[in-house]
Amino acid sequence: MQIKKLLLGVVLLGTSLFAIEGKNMTVYKSPYCGCCTKWVDIMKDNGFNVTTKMVDNVMFVNEKIGITPNTASCHTAIVDGYVVVGHVDYSAVKKMLTEKPDIKGITVPGMPIGSPGMEQGNMKQAYNILYINHDGRTGIYEKH
């Protein structure tokens, strides 16, 4: 009986650890943006199945899904009904998909140096990952 419980615990732990593996993510980005491509590669390396849609104007996509200019960045992703805008760390995406908060999504407005895809040697700006509520209000989700 103890072995069955232990094995069940290992299976459940394994399931929660790999819950992100194979999730489908759609990313809208400019065909000319290299930092966005780097971010997509990071998401792929962490187990996401990424479909990239090249668009001439990401802001047009953002307007359609209710992302305001003050929460926008150079690319926008959709995963499991959530919006992920800009150079958001994998850790925050994983946290959001695991905890499933009642929010529209998360964002890193702008393009801070040192965020995923925006690496420049040892340089790193402090930045916040913000959550976006359904009514558009924001707050700090993670500090980096």
Residue that the structure tokens 């964002």 belong to: 107
Name the pTM for this structure: 0.84
State pLDDT tens for residues 58-110: 999 999 999 999 999 999 999 999 999 999 999 999 999 999 999 999 999 98
Residue 14 belongs to a domain: no
Higher local confidence (pLDDT), 90 or 35: 90
pLDDT value at residue 82: 98
- Number of structural domains (the chain) is 1
Cα distances from 17 to residues 11, 20, 40, in angstroms, run 10, 8, 21
Nearest to 33 by CA among 66, 74, 84: 74
Residue 10 belongs to a domain: no
- Give the CATH number for residue 133: 3.40.30.10
> What is the DSSP track for 72-132?
--SEEEEETTEEEEES--HHHHHHHHHH--SSSEEEE-S--TTSTT--BTTB----EEEEE
Residue 41 belongs to a domain: yes
Q: Which of 11-20, 56-65, 129-138 has the lowest mean pLDDT?
A: 11-20
Give yes or no for residue 11 having a pLDDT over 70: no
The residue range of the domain holding 83 is 22-143
Higher local confidence (pLDDT), 36 or 4: 36
In the structure, what pLDDT confidence band is assigned to residue 35 with cuts at 50, 70 and 90? confident
